[in-house]
Chain A
Amino acid sequence: MSFLSIRNLSVRLKKGQPLLRRVSLDVSAGEVRGLVGESGAGKSMIGKAVLGILPPSIEVTEGEILLDGVDLLRLPPALRRKRIGALAALIPQDPLTALNPSHRIGPQITDRLVDILGWTRANADARARELLSEVQIPDPDRVLRSYPHELSGGMRQRILIASAFAAEPKLIVADEPTTALDVTVQKQILKLIAGMQTRHGTALLFVTHDLGVVSKVCQKLSVLYAGMVVEDTSVADFFAAPRHAYSAALLAATPKYTDPAAGLQPVPEAVIAAVQAEVAAFDRRAAHG
């Protein structure tokens, strides 16, 4: 039984435009699933749906999101929040905007432990210190007392990672956790996340553009196009032989895996046309029943 199981999830703008089209995917305990697709494909939307932070202009029209066997969409809001807060966590994309500028670092790591999970302050503080050493932050005591603007982007992302792992969640959603960082820092952060994931045995839903990252971190992979899952496979199979023409083109577009000299290849128009026809066919079916 998967820890996270999304079944036929459809999401649309309240005005009508569909954003996710019957998305299904599973993440087993301790497993890392990559989520790739071009910009606007709906990768973040899936993460938001799982974490219960869809914007108010967007509604779920069908499907279920089973977190540890319980459908989040059928829970009353207060219970849903509690469940998500206890079992899941988010590593956000931009460390510069994801920390509250007017709170110190310490409380931003311990708040969930104390306020939601009922830890004592002393235990939570000890846990925060432990986590900061785990994410390799020197002088944890000083950092816990700092404000976000006193720290570098890499440091802040480490703190956000520490905060995500604080309550030992069973599932973490990482939404392009390195794109906002310097290239030099990206590798370290990626390694850190992978290392922590293995050590804690956390299931990870990893949103990225970068197939290179997928090959290093993930075991499973979903390829998304226009809110539709076009391929759901293991990473090994994907790199050996992608089944869908679109994923094949995506793979071909990533230089490292074909010819490094060729540079980034655009996805051929014929492939785009074919996958768009699939989407259109899906919408027609949906409209008829």
Chain B
Amino acid sequence: MPFLRILFVRLLTTAITLAGVAVIVFFVIRVVPGNPIAMMLPPGATEEDIARLSALYGLDKPMITQFGIWIAGVMQGDFGTSITTRQPVLNLVLGRLPATLELSIMALVMAMILGGAAALTGTRFRGGRTEGAIDVANGMALSVPDFLWGLVLILLFGVLMPVFHISGRVTPSLDLPFTTNFYLFESLIRLRFDLWADLVAHMFMPALALAIPLAAIIGQLLKQSLKETMNLDYVTLARTKGYGETRVILREALRNAALPTLTLVGVQFTFLIGGTVIIERLFSYEGLGNMAIDAVINRDLPLIQGIVILFAVIFTGVNLIVDLLYTVLNPRLRHG
């Protein structure tokens, strides 16, 4: 199949998926009991007040009409106004997105480092106790989800040996000179390493909790792939040239073994991003997921819709990119 055709088909299915998400989230949250308007007004507000505000937010119209208005707005980049904060949903969501992105990417990097190290060590000492220990650790890390790892980390590094912060994104008393919400990134650009260190000290545990299960997956897949690669002819040939085991693994095997693993990491990365919702809650990290839970609790319908759509866009986008990358990197698929 030619590349353009694959691209077209994938774009189409992505569009269908996003439309499906939009429909489901819109109608599901409208079944939520509890009138959001009544919740935001002070007690003692009259029926009239409620009706007036409902009309203001368009909540008095039939559901189908509301959906049409919302979708028309979304198409123009208008996601409506948050009921609790009365700010445009788009601004709120985009304001929180950098925090979640930074957390996810930090977690991804940690997972790759940890998983890569486990796989390389396991391959280097394959067949021995070290590999056995790594397998057991991987199995454990994989069996227990990020939420529980987060709690374990809080106990270990927040209480037992309090080296990291267990809540928030940054120490509130600090004076932040940032113009964007990509704090971690900007602190580096501005060479404010003091702020960077504070940000990392907050981000470390939530990122690690998200990273542990993914690290285990990377560790397992990459180790398996490496071990298979180590039996190939070109690796054997490199040994006869005088290279030692470690250098053979790093020079000859790693790059070829990494490609199949990378494509799987792409899909797993969306699961990691999904995990930020509860992990951000657990660590009171001011990202998208934490805002989402608040939005549900406050029945802030436009905000919930906006966040869910944004997550769906991120997920499908990551999957799309990974699929296309795979097609590009694999010449056989491109021409076949």
Contact = CB atoms under 8 A, between A and B. Distances in A.
Interface in B235-266: 236-244, 247, 251-252, 255-256
Contacts of A93: 233
B42 interface: no
Nearest to A87: B242
A99 interface: yes
A138 to B, nearest CB: 24
A102 B127 contact: no
Contacts of B251: 111
B39 interface: no
Given A94-B233, A100-B252, A85 B127 contact: no
A182 interface: no
Given A56-B127, A102-B256, A51 B243 contact: no
B232 interface: yes
Contacts of B256: 100-102
B178 interface: no
A123 interface: no
B123 to A, nearest CB: 12
B241 A112 contact: yes
Nearest to B254: A102
A33 B242 CA distance: 24
Contacts of B3: none
Contact of B240 (A56, A77, A90): A90
Interface in A76-101: 77-78, 81-82, 84-86, 88-90, 92-94, 97-101
A270 interface: no
B237 A98 contact: yes
A115 interface: yes
Contacts, number: 60
A203 to B, nearest CB: 15
B27 to A, nearest CB: 50
A97 B236 CA distance: 10
A82 B242 contact: yes
B271 interface: no
Given A56-B127, A100-B252, A116 B233 contact: no
Contacts of A97: 232-234
Q: In terms of DSSP, what is the predominant structure of the interface of chain B? A: helix
A102 B242 CA distance: 20
A53 interface: yes
Contacts of A82: 242
Nearest to A77: B244
Contact of B239 (A52, A100, A111): A52
Contacts of B247: 115
Nearest to A99: B234
A160 B252 CA distance: 16
A53 B240 contact: yes
B233 A98 contact: yes
A163 to B, nearest CB: 8
Given A97-B232, A97-B233, A85 B240 contact: yes
User: Which of B127, B239, B242, B243 counts the most A-chain CB atoms under 10 A from its CB?
Assistant: B242
B234 A116 contact: no
Contacts of B241: 85, 89, 111-112, 115-116
Contacts of A116: 241-243
Nearest to A116: B242
A192 B248 CA distance: 29
A89 B244 contact: no
B63 to A, nearest CB: 55
Nearest to A88: B240
Contacts of B243: 81, 85, 115-116
Contacts of B232: 97
A81 B232 CA distance: 19
Across the A-B interface, give the 3 residue pairs with the lowest CB-CB distance, nearest first: A85-B242, A116-B242, A112-B241
24 contacts: A53-B236, A77-B244, A82-B242, A84-B242, A85-B242, A85-B243, A88-B240, A89-B240, A92-B236, A92-B237, A93-B233, A97-B232, A97-B234, A98-B233, A98-B234, A99-B234, A100-B234, A102-B255, A111-B238, A112-B241, A115-B242, A115-B247, A116-B242, A160-B237
